[in-house]
Structure 1
Amino acid sequence: MMFTVEDEEEYERVMEAEREMERQRENCRRRRRKKRPPKKPPIVEVEHAADEQETKSQTEQLKEWMDDELEFFAGHRCIWERSSGSKAGRCGGFEDKTTLSPMQFTHCIPGIIPPRAAVTGSTLQIYSFKIVELSDDLKWPLRVYGVVAARDTVDRNRNLLFARSRIRCQVLTENDSSLCLTGPSRAILAVDPVDFEVELKIHDGGDERKDRELIWAINHYDIAYNGEQPSLTFHSPLCRAELRLERLPTTVQATILSVHVVGGGSLFKSGGQVFCSSSSADSSAARREKIVLLDYVETNSAAKNERHLDGYLPLSRNVVSVEFGGGLEVVVKVYGGSGCTCGHVYFPFQYCNISQGTCSVSGSEVEMVVAWSRLVGDKMDMLIEGYTTQA
């Protein structure tokens, strides 16, 4: 394959853009070690009216800080477009979503050598994204909308964890400040560093122009830098948010295709929850956090949704990572007047194909279907081998 002078120049521009991105990340780390959301307005003693005019109010300080965050995010976007979004990068637009399916290799035959693009590797398991602290400038509840996304090196596109428009904003309260995650849409490969981007706004209730930026931030997960820490923190002038995650060493991806109440009856008359947890091959390892797939608190909406779905439960997310040699346990918990009842199915790890299981919950039979697949190591390998990459 021959490389032209233009190709070499384009490659050098891409490499310089990536070096600039790393410099920006390091500057961001230094800046955030110095800055934290102010809890209370600074107390400043002044003697003259002129001094009072020179003293910036807390609101002005918050606005300046948020302007800095927005400027930094814009710089991050510009650098991405110069590198990954360039002619050499060929990753499309900054807001383009990953089109790779979590069931890319579900069809493979056990025992047959898989395609080169099909791998097992280290991935990030996403547990929750929570607003853990507000500045004095904000009060609960908050009506939040926007995007939380991961970006790995498989295709360098956005893998959405949360995405809501203004008309579908989520109400967060002090007692329930976790976003209702809908992703990832495929496993997040953690062999190389992973970027996380957060763009969240507060719905003002009236004119959209009055909506405020809640948090506009970027964070970077790198096993060499972050170690095995269980969370990433995102700072904003108005709040602090925490993304709980875990790096699993060697994994495949599982897609919970359906959780179905046989006969179509209403299971969550008093509310309930569907969640799962993965296990490792090491039986002595600590139990992992649960991943919430569906959480019904408002019983009226639960009954209404179940009635129109013929017993299929509308899971908010359904793709998880499962460690090699381990398994996946899916649990259905039903709330009642005197407590709760649970049913669960354990699915042993598989490289491919479909698993099915049933359990009994509150007198109803519940069927579960899970699809298994190896990971996509690199989108370019998929294209070279002639695979389609549409999810």
Structure 2
Amino acid sequence: MQHTVDKNFCMSSFLTFRYIERDDMDFFDHVYHKVDKSHPESYTEIETIHDMDRHIKAKFQSFNNEKLGILLSGGMDSGCLAYYMPKGSNAYTFRFLGGEFQKDELKRAENIAKRQELNLHYIDIDWSIMEHLPILMKRKGAPVHSIEPQIYVAALKAKADGVERMIFGDAADPIFGGMDQLISKDWKFDDFVERYTFLDPKLILKDPVDVNYLFERYRVLPQQSKRGEEIDFLRFMDEVYGVESEDSYVNAFEVAGIKYCDPYCGMKIKGGIDLERNRNGQPKYFVRELFKYCYHDIPVPNKNPMPRPVDVYFKDWKGPIREEFRADIPLNQLHGNQKYQLYVLERFLDEFQHLEKIIK
């Protein structure tokens, strides 16, 4: 593949989608970005939770007695997978601010680990995880998602404990109708673009590049549209969000040098997601039913993103200072994850700018 160096495109793509959408575009010469787009060779169609149960059991049986570890939050995705873990396996739960952040979720993780006879290990996370950014960015050839450093730390801990393969449940969201705010309605095209764009490059960069062509691929043709100006947001979530999300886990595990598996991968709902059901009190209804099947007497927990108190970490951050960034960025209007995105983009540019200087 022929690679083109276009730093402005890469910055704009990262700000918009949180990954570099084009495989042939790179920030700098000799720094080739890598996006792990692993797709199963075949799929299991899911009609009932018993189909899910059989699929997940088959995944676990294929591990050939490897020593397993699991990333266990207090949510239903990892909670379901914990049900299938061998007794005595290690579970790893992130803890922030000395346990003062999302206490209820920590308690649920403790209860599930105890019930399933898993050895629970807390991974205490603070600002020091940022020291791992360079090694993660080096493999990816690009800035990394805010969850990657903490996944990497957990993977190193698991590897030191003798774990051979890590289990995680990220794919449940795009497959079974998570990200419920993004599939909560039939979006008009422009509204979805505004909602999904993580950070508008025009607000951040001096020389932004329009990357909305990616959204255009999913625009519903006029003759197929009921209202006009619609977007196939389900296909977008599967093909775009799914890549961005999974890649964060894969990069961290690969750098740590440990095998991994998401048992939800390889499943598809027969006939697609029932949006009416998903939008009326039952987001991720298949996973909810599986949780009830696994734990008859535990209330199904609400879905929460992987915890990270980035608002606390970046409360006093003054913003980027490199020449690529505008001086009038409305920093006070950005939430913590957006500030992290700017921070890690600047860290990446600082880390590899010597290559740009050599070329010039």
Q: TM-score range by the shorter chain?
A: under 0.3
**TM-score, normalised with respect to structure 1:** 0.23
**Relative contact order (C-alpha < 8 Å, sep 6+): which is higher?**
2
Report the structure, 1 or 2, having the larger helix content: 2
Report the structure, 1 or 2, having the larger strand content: 1
